[in-house]
Amino acid sequence: MSEPSLLLPTELWNEHLFNGVWEKGPLAAGSVVEPATGATLGKIGMANAETIASSSQIARAAQDRWFALPYDERASVLRKAAQVAENHFAEIVEWIIRESGSTGAKAAFETGLTIKALHESSGLPSRSQGEVLPSTPGRLSLARRRPLGVIGVISPFNFPLYLAMRAVAPALALGNSVVLKPDPRTAVCGGLVIARLFELAGLPSGVLHVLPGGAEAGAALVADPNIAMIQFTGSTGAGRKVGEAASRHLKKVSLELGGKNSLIVLDDADMDIALANAAWGAYLHQGQICMSTGRLLVQRRIYDQFVARLVDKAGSLTVGDPAQGEVALGPLINAQQRDHVYQVVQAAQRAGARLDVGGSYEGLFFQPTVLSGVQPDNPAFHEEVFGPVAIVVPFDSDEDAVRLANDTSYGLSAAIISKDVGRALKLGERLRTGLLHINDQTVNDEVINPFGGVGASGNGTSIGGPANWEEFTQWQWLTLKGEAPLYPL
């Protein structure tokens, strides 16, 4: 069967959710709003607790049949989904731009990452599923990996397509079924696109459910007895609640949370390279990334020059509707997030920081901002801003840089810019962080790498690459004898 010209024709998805078929949700449909213009792009079906319960039960029944398929059939579905995404690349990019406020370059990069995740996941079914263990003579002892069952995925708005797919694709590839609850603000590009890709790829009905919903739906997903694991990506505050609730139900849980990530610029760094990395890390996708550079720690000898040039750089960046042309920054996701960013900037100034550029907004468009003179007792030093705000902090010695970078409850990503790789690596070895980049900035993911943070950035788990086997399967010990022994009791 040939693919339709549109991946998501309006009549298919409007006011619908996906539970193996496209159906209207039980609640009033939610609006799909374009942040740049405030225009309504359509409506999404919204799930409640009863929807979650029904879909989880269907997914549990479908999982056994899905895992029972030959491994190459499961792999084929993943490869076909990647092909469908490639065929509809431009349409997917447009949805990410319009629904999440992404620039065109960021949306294209995210779509490419998503396709890579599908291709990488398609290789999982054919890999070794365990080990042969030593045992007593006459007994075969195996440790093998088995799917968990139904994986509940709760995904965020900022990289909506990729941060959902990086869990959905490997979970499916390893024989699980999935119930995905995308953020309602980006439920089309972060949810319904995924449903459609797998529908057209021939995934058996019932194996994947995409159910946009609010807090009630999320709580029901965490509590449902048919859900074996929760993979959550979002804020640390929400992640704490998810982790607490999941533990009460003895569920496995993977938490990918926030960060206050430091980019350390040593005094031997090339200034042009350091500035390019700083601007990218701080302003990419308006700073709405868990790995965004939350602090620029700059050695004092080059601090004044660095701040002056960063101010010029920030002032030159274009801000506007990414659907209307190429801009450096698009809108923030909504007024609540914009107001949070503004309040952090105001509080930082009251605590002694200097506002060098930016700090203002029009609609949801927040100007690229530079705050300098930020001290460790300033709230902006510790709080995750999730907006286009570069916070520049001077330091004197490498020891000071380590102390400042580690002065946080978070531990997601860190980066160091220096011509002396040995010095940078020695410094980096002392940083408490899940991701460390020497001569790069803090925002990095290549799909094939284990991704996870420590402290308030996660619960010690990772997702991606070799970590996917650990996350989405569990060990089973299997022994085999020719005949049962006669025990003496």
What residues act catalytically? 256, 290
H/E/C letters for each residue in 430-453? Answer: CCCCCEEEECCCCCCCCCCCCECC
**32 CB-near residues (< 8 Å, 6+ apart):** 40, 41, 42, 43, 44, 99, 187, 188
Query: What burial class does residue 49 get, using C-beta atoms within 10 Å of its C-beta: 0-12 exposed, 13-18 middle, 19+ buried?
Result: middle
How far is 62 from 64, CA to CA, in rounded Å? 6
H helical segments located in 235-299: 236-248, 271-283
Q: Which helix (H) or strand (E) holds 198?
A: helix 193-201
Q: Please calculate the CA angle 296-299-302 and round it to the nearest 5 degrees.
A: 100
Distances in whole angstroms, Cα of residue 49 to Cα of each of 188, 220, 336: 20, 5, 26
How far is 440 from 276, CA to CA, in rounded Å? 10
450, 466 Cβ separation under 8 angstroms: yes
